[in-house]
Structure 1
């Protein structure tokens, strides 16, 4: 994600703003579920996407093996915490690719 965002210069494509907001909201949702299931702290409310991603690396490393097997329900489907973390990583990588593809496109009037 850092590499994708570092390629954004000038007036970014409007979709980039939507993607970064969407990722931050989704990550907070994932981590709220994880926190409720494991007793881990939820993400700080005042972190933007970049700080949130740095926070979640430490938070994921702090989860015990037992915590990783706890079950959560997201979007009507049941996941283990480890599965939800993998979904989070795939989701982030997917949108990072979209951001990188849009990074060199200027905003249209």
Structure 2
């Protein structure tokens, strides 16, 4: 995600703002679900997208095998914490690709 965001200067495509806001909201939702199921901490309330991503890497590293296996419900589906972490990674990668595709291209003469 950071590579997709790097180099965006000036006025980005309007969809980039929507995607980054959407990711921040869903990452907070996933963190709350994981915290409730695994007894893990939640991210700081004032964390932006980059801080949320850094926080989640450290938080996931700290989870025990038992916490990773804890069950939760997301969008009507029964998942383990590990399943939701994988879903979060796929979701982030998908939107990172969309953001990268929206970056202005250098034009060659």
Q: List runs of 5+ in structure 1 lacking aligned partners.
A: none
TM norm structure 1? 0.94
Q: Does 1:38 align with 2:38?
A: yes
Q: Name the CA distance, whole Å, in 1 between partners of 2:70 and 2:94.
A: 25
Supply the RMSD in Å over aligned alpha carbons: 0.9
Runs of 4+ more than 6 Å apart: none
Q: How far does residue 8 in structure 1 lie from its aligned partner after superposition?
A: 1.3
Q: How far does residue 7 in structure 1 lie from its aligned partner after superposition?
A: 2.9
Q: Does 1:21 align with 2:21?
A: yes
Identify the residue that residue 91 of structure 1 maps to in structure 2: 91
Q: Does 1:100 align with 2:103?
A: no
Matches within 5 A, 1:67-78: 67-78=67-78
Identify the residue that residue 59 of structure 1 maps to in structure 2: 59
Aligned residues: 105
SS of 1:73 mapped into structure 2:
strand
Q: Name the CA distance, whole Å, in 2 between partners of 1:31 and 1:64.
A: 16
TM norm structure 2? 0.94
